[in-house]
């Protein structure tokens, strides 16, 4: 017997069904790209060019190469810190201006390299200054002020930062463990779980008052998830047990749902607090003789 076609895309289908979550949702491009990685090449070239010039030339060349190498490493760390700063709505400026220090070290290294070719003072200053300015022009400055910190208790923010660091350590340990299992499907599932956890982390960072309610999730539950990942990897790497994989995947599903519900509850509580504050403000304005249209 013929059946009428139905489904999401049929004329009578439900177009309001939520779209499935993309596996790439929440994925981030690594902030360190080819532009910064190529800066590790000049110190190597400078060191090799200094080998045949005598002991003094070699020593000066190695000092310049070390300056360039340290600058390239600081730039890499500065780009990572800047990406973390940009991702968060509430963030403190980096404690060390790594990109600025990297530009200074790049200028020093370029000046030493110029001095090897043209001894004196003018040429190294010109080349070193130009290298430092171009470095800043290419990669910019570090964030120099806090973001979204108005009205936030710094003591509470420090407590949140400590809990977040521990949570990130648990997530890293969990991912390192499942990589030993050698199953790409499990790795992708853990990455999806990490996205859900980081949604809760960002919620707590934006409102440190939520720390008490979320501490168990970001501490005890994540530690248990990491330990479960370690045990699963040990078993699966030896036996390729499908039952162990299915049980671990089900555990991740349960944890993801729990973290998602907790994030939604915290957001609803924050909205309730905002509603109360608005009503209190309205009542105060009305007592002062200011009447607002609702």
Inter-residue contact 191 to 179 (CB < 8 Å): no
pLDDT at position 1, please?
46
- Distance between CA atoms of 141 and 144, rounded to whole angstroms? 8
Residue 210 belongs to some domain of the structure: yes
pLDDT at position 116, please?
83
Number of structural domains the chain divides into: 2
Enumerate residue ranges in the chain where pLDDT < 50.
1-3, 5-7, 10, 12-18, 20, 23-24, 276
Residue 13 belongs to some domain of the structure: no
123 and 163 share a domain? no
- Distance between CA atoms of 112 and 253, rounded to whole angstroms? 57
110 and 187 share a domain? no
Residue 224 belongs to some domain of the structure: yes
Inter-residue contact 193 to 255 (CB < 8 Å): yes
What are the pLDDT digits (tens) for 15-72?
A: 444 454 554 455 566 677 778 888 999 999 988 888 887 888 888 889 999 999 999 9
* Residue of 235, 234, 256 lying closest to 189 (CA atoms): 256
192 and 135 share a domain? no
- E strand map for 9-73: none
Q: Which string of DSSP letters, residue by residue, matches 187-231?
A: HHHHHHHHHHHHHHHHHHHH-GGGHHHHHHIIIIIHHHHHHHHHH
pLDDT at position 132, please?
93
Domain span holding position 222: 154-287
Residue 17 belongs to some domain of the structure: no
180 and 91 share a domain? no
223 and 164 share a domain? yes
- Distance between CA atoms of 101 and 164, rounded to whole angstroms? 27
pLDDT at position 74, please?
94
Residue 294 belongs to some domain of the structure: no
269 and 212 share a domain? yes
- Distance between CA atoms of 131 and 261, rounded to whole angstroms? 51
């Amino acid at each position: 017997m013929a059946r009428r076609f139905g489904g999401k895309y049929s004329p009578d289908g439900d177009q309001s069904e939520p779209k499935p979550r993309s596996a790439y949702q929440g994925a981030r491009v690594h902030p360190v790209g080819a532009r910064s990685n190529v800066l590790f090449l000049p110190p190597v070239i400078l060191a090799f060019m200094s080998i045949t010039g005598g002991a003094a030339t070699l020593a000066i060349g190695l000092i310049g190469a070390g300056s360039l190498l340290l600058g390239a490493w600081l730039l890499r760390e500065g780009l990572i810190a800047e990406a973390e700063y940009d991702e968060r709505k509430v963030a403190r400026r980096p404690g060390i201006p790594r990109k600025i220090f990297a530009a200074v070290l790049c200028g020093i290294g370029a000046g030493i390299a110029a001095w090897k070719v043209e001894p004196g003072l003018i040429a190294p200053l010109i080349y070193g200054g130009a290298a430092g300015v171009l470095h800043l022009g290419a990669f910019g400055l570090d964030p120099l002020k806090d973001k979204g910190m108005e009205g936030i208790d710094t003591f509470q923010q420090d407590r949140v930062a400590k809990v977040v660091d521990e949570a990130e350590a648990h997530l890293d340990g969990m991912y390192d463990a499942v990589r030993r299992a050698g199953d790409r499907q499990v790795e992708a599932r853990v990455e999806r779980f990490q996205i859900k956890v980081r949604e809760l982390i960002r919620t707590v960072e934006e409102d440190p008052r939520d720390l008490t309610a979320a501490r168990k999730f970001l501490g005890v539950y994540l530690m248990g998830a990491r330990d479960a990942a370690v045990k699963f990897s040990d078993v699966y790497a030896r036996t390729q047990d499908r039952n162990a994989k299915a049980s671990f995947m089900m555990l991740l599903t349960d944890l993801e749902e729990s973290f998602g519900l907790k994030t939604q509850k915290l957001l609803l509580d924050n909205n309730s607090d905002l509603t109360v504050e608005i009503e209190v403000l309205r009542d105060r304005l009305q007592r002062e003789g200011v009447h607002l249209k609702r």
